[in-house]
Protein backbone atom coordinates (compact mmCIF):
# COMPACT_ATOMS: atom_id res chain seq x y z
CA UNK A 1 0.00 0.00 0.00
CA UNK A 2 1.38 3.39 -0.87
CA UNK A 3 1.41 6.15 1.71
CA UNK A 4 -0.30 8.74 -0.45
CA UNK A 5 -3.42 10.74 0.13
CA UNK A 6 -6.56 9.58 -1.64
CA UNK A 7 -10.06 10.98 -1.89
CA UNK A 8 -11.27 8.51 0.71
CA UNK A 9 -8.65 9.39 3.34
CA UNK A 10 -7.96 12.73 5.05
CA UNK A 11 -4.97 14.73 3.92
CA UNK A 12 -2.08 13.83 6.20
CA UNK A 13 -0.99 17.45 6.77
CA UNK A 14 -4.17 19.45 7.33
CA UNK A 15 -2.17 22.29 8.95
CA UNK A 16 -0.83 23.46 5.60
CA UNK A 17 -2.94 26.41 4.48
CA UNK A 18 -3.25 25.60 0.83
CA UNK A 19 -5.40 26.98 -0.62
CA UNK A 20 -5.64 30.25 1.32
CA UNK A 21 -5.67 33.97 0.51
CA UNK A 22 -2.58 34.59 2.58
CA UNK A 23 -0.57 32.04 0.68
CA UNK A 24 -1.76 33.21 -2.75
CA UNK A 25 -1.11 36.87 -1.94
CA UNK A 26 2.41 36.07 -0.73
CA UNK A 27 3.12 34.11 -3.92
CA UNK A 28 1.62 36.82 -6.12
CA UNK A 29 3.66 39.56 -4.46
CA UNK A 30 6.80 37.50 -4.88
CA UNK A 31 5.99 37.01 -8.61
CA UNK A 32 5.65 40.78 -9.01
CA UNK A 33 9.28 41.04 -7.89
CA UNK A 34 10.52 38.06 -9.88
CA UNK A 35 12.90 40.25 -11.92
CA UNK A 36 14.38 42.33 -9.10
CA UNK A 37 14.32 39.69 -6.36
CA UNK A 38 14.35 36.28 -8.02
CA UNK A 39 15.92 34.57 -5.00
CA UNK A 40 13.00 35.47 -2.76
CA UNK A 41 10.46 34.60 -5.45
CA UNK A 42 11.87 31.19 -6.27
CA UNK A 43 12.76 30.18 -2.73
CA UNK A 44 9.17 30.96 -1.67
CA UNK A 45 7.78 29.03 -4.64
CA UNK A 46 10.11 26.11 -3.92
CA UNK A 47 9.02 25.96 -0.26
CA UNK A 48 5.39 26.14 -1.32
CA UNK A 49 5.78 23.42 -3.95
CA UNK A 50 7.56 21.03 -1.61
CA UNK A 51 4.83 21.71 0.96
CA UNK A 52 2.35 20.61 -1.71
CA UNK A 53 4.29 17.42 -2.40
CA UNK A 54 4.42 16.65 1.32
CA UNK A 55 0.71 17.38 1.70
CA UNK A 56 -0.05 14.58 -0.76
CA UNK A 57 2.78 12.20 -0.02
CA UNK A 58 4.17 12.77 3.46
CA UNK A 59 7.69 13.99 4.40
CA UNK A 60 10.20 13.81 1.58
CA UNK A 61 13.12 13.09 3.93
CA UNK A 62 14.97 10.00 2.78
CA UNK A 63 13.06 9.81 -0.50
CA UNK A 64 14.55 9.90 -3.98
CA UNK A 65 13.30 12.94 -5.86
CA UNK A 66 13.92 13.63 -9.54
CA UNK A 67 13.48 17.26 -10.62
CA UNK A 68 13.04 17.40 -14.40
CA UNK A 69 13.67 20.72 -16.14
CA UNK A 70 14.48 22.23 -12.78
CA UNK A 71 16.31 25.29 -14.14
CA UNK A 72 18.84 26.64 -11.65
CA UNK A 73 17.86 24.08 -9.04
CA UNK A 74 15.92 25.98 -6.37
CA UNK A 75 13.40 23.14 -6.05
CA UNK A 76 16.14 20.52 -5.86
CA UNK A 77 17.81 22.61 -3.14
CA UNK A 78 14.58 22.79 -1.12
CA UNK A 79 13.99 19.03 -1.41
CA UNK A 80 17.56 18.47 -0.18
CA UNK A 81 17.09 20.95 2.66
CA UNK A 82 14.25 18.71 3.85
CA UNK A 83 16.39 15.61 3.72
CA UNK A 84 15.44 14.16 0.33
CA UNK A 85 17.93 12.64 -2.09
CA UNK A 86 17.09 15.08 -4.86
CA UNK A 87 18.61 15.18 -8.33
CA UNK A 88 18.35 17.90 -10.93
CA UNK A 89 18.00 17.10 -14.64
CA UNK A 90 18.12 20.15 -16.89
CA UNK A 91 18.94 20.29 -20.62
CA UNK A 92 19.92 23.95 -20.86
CA UNK A 93 23.29 24.96 -19.42
CA UNK A 94 22.27 28.60 -19.37
CA UNK A 95 19.24 27.78 -17.23
CA UNK A 96 21.50 25.95 -14.78
CA UNK A 97 23.33 29.24 -14.15
CA UNK A 98 26.53 29.79 -12.18
CA UNK A 99 25.77 27.75 -9.10
CA UNK A 100 23.80 24.63 -9.96
CA UNK A 101 23.28 22.11 -7.17
CA UNK A 102 26.00 19.47 -6.82
CA UNK A 103 25.57 16.59 -9.20
CA UNK A 104 23.20 18.40 -11.56
CA UNK A 105 22.82 16.40 -14.77
CA UNK A 106 22.50 17.95 -18.21
CA UNK A 107 19.72 15.83 -19.66
CA UNK A 108 16.58 16.09 -21.70
CA UNK A 109 13.29 15.17 -20.07
CA UNK A 110 12.35 13.06 -23.10
CA UNK A 111 15.20 10.68 -22.38
CA UNK A 112 16.33 10.68 -18.78
CA UNK A 113 19.51 8.75 -17.96
CA UNK A 114 17.70 6.79 -15.25
CA UNK A 115 16.50 3.23 -14.72
CA UNK A 116 12.76 2.54 -14.62
CA UNK A 117 11.08 3.24 -11.29
CA UNK A 118 14.01 4.84 -9.44
CA UNK A 119 12.13 7.90 -8.15
CA UNK A 120 9.79 8.08 -5.18
CA UNK A 121 8.80 11.55 -6.35
CA UNK A 122 9.15 12.92 -9.87
CA UNK A 123 8.79 16.66 -9.96
CA UNK A 124 8.29 18.91 -12.96
CA UNK A 125 7.38 22.55 -12.51
CA UNK A 126 6.48 24.71 -15.48
CA UNK A 127 8.21 22.60 -18.10
CA UNK A 128 5.34 20.93 -19.98
CA UNK A 129 4.46 24.09 -21.94
CA UNK A 130 8.08 24.24 -23.14
CA UNK A 131 8.16 20.83 -24.81
CA UNK A 132 6.82 20.07 -28.28
CA UNK A 133 5.56 16.60 -27.35
CA UNK A 134 3.97 16.74 -23.88
CA UNK A 135 2.71 13.14 -23.99
CA UNK A 136 6.18 11.69 -24.55
CA UNK A 137 7.52 13.95 -21.81
CA UNK A 138 4.85 12.69 -19.37
CA UNK A 139 5.58 9.08 -20.34
CA UNK A 140 9.21 9.57 -19.37
CA UNK A 141 8.22 11.05 -16.00
CA UNK A 142 6.01 8.02 -15.41
CA UNK A 143 8.71 5.57 -16.49
CA UNK A 144 11.24 6.78 -13.91
CA UNK A 145 8.70 6.84 -11.06
CA UNK A 146 8.33 3.71 -8.93
CA UNK A 147 4.92 2.05 -8.69
CA UNK A 148 3.10 3.90 -5.91
CA UNK A 149 5.36 6.91 -6.36
CA UNK A 150 4.11 10.45 -6.87
CA UNK A 151 4.38 12.69 -9.92
CA UNK A 152 4.07 16.45 -9.43
CA UNK A 153 3.39 18.01 -12.82
CA UNK A 154 2.51 21.67 -13.21
CA UNK A 155 2.36 23.95 -16.22
CA UNK A 156 1.03 27.29 -17.36
CA UNK A 157 -1.60 26.60 -19.99
CA UNK A 158 -1.80 28.71 -23.13
CA UNK A 159 -5.07 30.52 -22.38
CA UNK A 160 -3.98 31.42 -18.86
CA UNK A 161 -3.48 35.17 -18.35
CA UNK A 162 0.21 34.23 -17.99
CA UNK A 163 0.14 31.82 -20.97
CA UNK A 164 2.30 34.09 -23.14
CA UNK A 165 4.95 34.33 -20.40
CA UNK A 166 6.97 37.56 -20.81
CA UNK A 167 4.60 38.78 -23.54
CA UNK A 168 1.42 38.02 -21.58
CA UNK A 169 -1.40 38.96 -21.58
CA UNK A 170 -1.00 40.17 -25.17
CA UNK A 171 -0.85 36.56 -26.41
CA UNK A 172 -4.67 36.74 -26.39
CA UNK A 173 -4.26 38.95 -29.48
CA UNK A 174 -1.87 36.49 -31.13
CA UNK A 175 1.64 35.29 -30.36
CA UNK A 176 3.42 37.19 -33.14
CA UNK A 177 1.75 40.45 -32.30
CA UNK A 178 2.54 39.97 -28.62
CA UNK A 179 6.22 39.20 -29.32
CA UNK A 180 6.53 42.25 -31.57
CA UNK A 181 4.98 44.42 -28.90
CA UNK A 182 7.43 43.06 -26.32
CA UNK A 183 10.39 43.95 -28.55
CA UNK A 184 9.06 47.45 -29.16
CA UNK A 185 8.52 48.08 -25.48
CA UNK A 186 11.75 46.61 -24.07
CA UNK A 187 14.15 46.89 -27.01
CA UNK A 188 14.98 43.20 -26.49
CA UNK A 189 13.95 40.06 -28.31
CA UNK A 190 11.57 37.94 -26.24
CA UNK A 191 12.97 34.75 -24.73
CA UNK A 192 10.06 32.65 -25.92
CA UNK A 193 8.82 31.94 -29.43
CA UNK A 194 5.59 30.03 -29.95
CA UNK A 195 6.29 26.70 -31.62
CA UNK A 196 10.01 26.80 -30.74
CA UNK A 197 10.37 26.92 -26.97
CA UNK A 198 6.79 27.65 -25.91
CA UNK A 199 3.78 25.59 -26.94
CA UNK A 200 0.04 26.08 -26.66
CA UNK A 201 -0.87 23.40 -24.11
CA UNK A 202 -4.51 23.30 -23.03
CA UNK A 203 -6.09 21.93 -19.86
CA UNK A 204 -8.97 19.90 -21.38
CA UNK A 205 -6.86 17.78 -23.76
CA UNK A 206 -4.11 17.33 -21.16
CA UNK A 207 -6.62 16.04 -18.60
CA UNK A 208 -8.15 13.67 -21.15
CA UNK A 209 -4.71 12.33 -22.03
CA UNK A 210 -3.57 11.67 -18.46
CA UNK A 211 -6.95 10.18 -17.50
CA UNK A 212 -6.75 7.81 -20.45
CA UNK A 213 -3.44 6.39 -19.25
CA UNK A 214 -3.49 3.10 -17.39
CA UNK A 215 -0.10 3.62 -15.72
CA UNK A 216 -1.11 6.59 -13.55
CA UNK A 217 -4.05 7.61 -11.39
CA UNK A 218 -5.00 11.28 -11.12
CA UNK A 219 -4.98 12.07 -7.40
CA UNK A 220 -5.70 15.74 -7.94
CA UNK A 221 -6.13 18.16 -10.82
CA UNK A 222 -6.13 21.66 -9.40
CA UNK A 223 -5.01 25.22 -9.80
CA UNK A 224 -1.51 25.49 -8.37
CA UNK A 225 -1.92 29.01 -6.96
CA UNK A 226 -5.62 29.71 -6.47
CA UNK A 227 -6.70 30.79 -2.96
CA UNK A 228 -10.00 28.86 -3.04
CA UNK A 229 -11.89 26.26 -5.11
CA UNK A 230 -8.57 25.08 -6.47
CA UNK A 231 -9.99 21.77 -7.73
CA UNK A 232 -13.45 23.10 -8.64
CA UNK A 233 -12.15 25.62 -11.15
CA UNK A 234 -10.51 22.82 -13.14
CA UNK A 235 -13.87 21.06 -13.50
CA UNK A 236 -15.47 23.82 -15.59
CA UNK A 237 -14.76 23.26 -19.30
CA UNK A 238 -13.92 26.47 -21.13
CA UNK A 239 -13.72 28.62 -18.01
CA UNK A 240 -10.84 26.53 -16.66
CA UNK A 241 -8.66 27.39 -19.64
CA UNK A 242 -8.59 31.03 -18.54
CA UNK A 243 -9.26 30.82 -14.81
CA UNK A 244 -6.88 28.08 -13.64
CA UNK A 245 -3.68 30.08 -14.37
CA UNK A 246 -1.46 27.07 -13.77
CA UNK A 247 -2.60 23.47 -13.72
CA UNK A 248 -1.15 21.20 -11.05
CA UNK A 249 -1.55 17.48 -11.60
CA UNK A 250 -0.76 15.12 -8.76
CA UNK A 251 -0.43 11.67 -10.25
CA UNK A 252 0.17 8.32 -8.60
CA UNK A 253 2.11 5.69 -10.56
CA UNK A 254 0.05 2.50 -10.79
CA UNK A 255 1.56 -0.93 -10.18
CA UNK A 256 2.51 -2.65 -13.45
C1 LIG B 1 10.09 28.10 -17.15
S2 LIG B 1 11.50 27.12 -16.85
C3 LIG B 1 11.01 26.30 -15.35
C4 LIG B 1 12.18 26.08 -14.44
C5 LIG B 1 11.77 25.52 -13.08
N6 LIG B 1 11.28 24.16 -13.19
C7 LIG B 1 10.73 26.41 -12.42
O8 LIG B 1 9.58 25.98 -12.21
O9 LIG B 1 11.06 27.55 -12.09
C10 LIG B 1 11.34 25.84 -18.04
C11 LIG B 1 12.46 24.84 -17.96
O12 LIG B 1 12.16 23.73 -18.79
C13 LIG B 1 13.37 23.28 -19.33
N14 LIG B 1 13.09 22.41 -20.48
C15 LIG B 1 12.73 22.76 -21.72
N16 LIG B 1 12.62 21.67 -22.51
C17 LIG B 1 12.92 20.61 -21.73
C18 LIG B 1 13.00 19.21 -21.95
N19 LIG B 1 12.76 18.67 -23.15
N20 LIG B 1 13.35 18.42 -20.92
C21 LIG B 1 13.57 18.95 -19.70
N22 LIG B 1 13.52 20.25 -19.44
C23 LIG B 1 13.20 21.08 -20.44
C24 LIG B 1 14.08 24.56 -19.68
O25 LIG B 1 15.45 24.38 -19.94
C26 LIG B 1 13.81 25.39 -18.44
O27 LIG B 1 14.77 25.19 -17.44
Q: Convert the pLDDT of each residue in 185-235 to its tens digit.
A: 999 999 999 999 999 999 999 999 999 999 999 999 999 999 999 999 999
* Distance in angstroms (rounded) separating the CA atoms of residues 166 and 227: 23
* Distance in angstroms (rounded) separating the CA atoms of residues 50 and 88: 15
Predicted confidence at residue 117, as pLDDT, reads 98
Strand, helix or coil for residue 252: strand
Specify if 3 maps to a domain: no
What is the band of 184 on the pLDDT scale with cuts at 50, 70, 90? Answer: very high
Kindly state whether residues 184 and 240 are assigned to the same domain: no
Which of 30, 91, 157 for mutating ligand 1's site (highest number of atoms within 8 Å of CB)? 91
pLDDT at 10 over 90: no
Q: Convert the pLDDT of each residue in 165-176 to its tens digit.
A: 999 999 999 999
What is the band of 17 on the pLDDT scale with cuts at 50, 70, 90? Answer: confident
Which structural domain range is residue 39 located in?
Answer: 21-157+201-253
* Separation of CA 146 and ligand 1 centre (Å): 22
Kindly state whether residues 104 and 193 are assigned to the same domain: no
Kindly state whether residues 63 and 178 are assigned to the same domain: no
What is the band of 256 on the pLDDT scale with cuts at 50, 70, 90? Answer: confident
Q: Convert the pLDDT of each residue in 89-129 to its tens digit.
A: 999 999 999 999 999 999 999 999 999 999 999 999 999 99
* Distance in angstroms (rounded) separating the CA atoms of residues 20 and 229: 10
Predicted confidence at residue 4, as pLDDT, reads 37
Mean pLDDT of 68-77: 97
Kindly state whether residues 173 and 241 are assigned to the same domain: no
Strand, helix or coil for residue 9: coil
| Ligand 1 atom index nearest CA of 89 | 21
Q: Is 69 in the pocket of ligand 1 (CB under 6 A)?
A: yes
Q: How far is CA 83 from CA 12, 78, 215, in A?
A: 19, 9, 28
pLDDT at 145 over 90: yes
* Separation of CA 1 and ligand 1 centre (Å): 32
* Distance in angstroms (rounded) separating the CA atoms of residues 31 and 253: 32
Q: Is 156 in the pocket of ligand 1 (CB under 6 A)?
A: no
Instruction: Count Cβ neighbours within 10 Å for each residue of 174-194 and write b for 16 or more, e otherwise.
Output: ebeebbeebeeeeeeebebeb
Q: Average pLDDT over the chain, rounded to whole? A: 93
* Distance in angstroms (rounded) separating the CA atoms of residues 38 and 185: 22
Residue of minimum CA distance from atom 8 in ligand 1: 125
Predicted confidence at residue 178, as pLDDT, reads 98
Q: Parallel, antiparallel, or unpaired for β 216-223 and 247-253?
A: antiparallel
Q: 88: domain CATH number?
A: 3.40.50.150
Kindly state whether residues 128 and 194 are assigned to the same domain: no
Mean pLDDT of 141-155: 98
Amino acid sequence: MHRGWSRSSPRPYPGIKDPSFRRSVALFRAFLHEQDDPDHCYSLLARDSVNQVEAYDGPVAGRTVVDVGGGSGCFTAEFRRRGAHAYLFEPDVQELGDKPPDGAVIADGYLLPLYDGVADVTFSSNVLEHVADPQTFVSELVRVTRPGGLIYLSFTNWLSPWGGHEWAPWHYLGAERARARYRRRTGRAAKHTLGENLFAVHIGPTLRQVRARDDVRVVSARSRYWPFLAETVVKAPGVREVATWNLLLILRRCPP
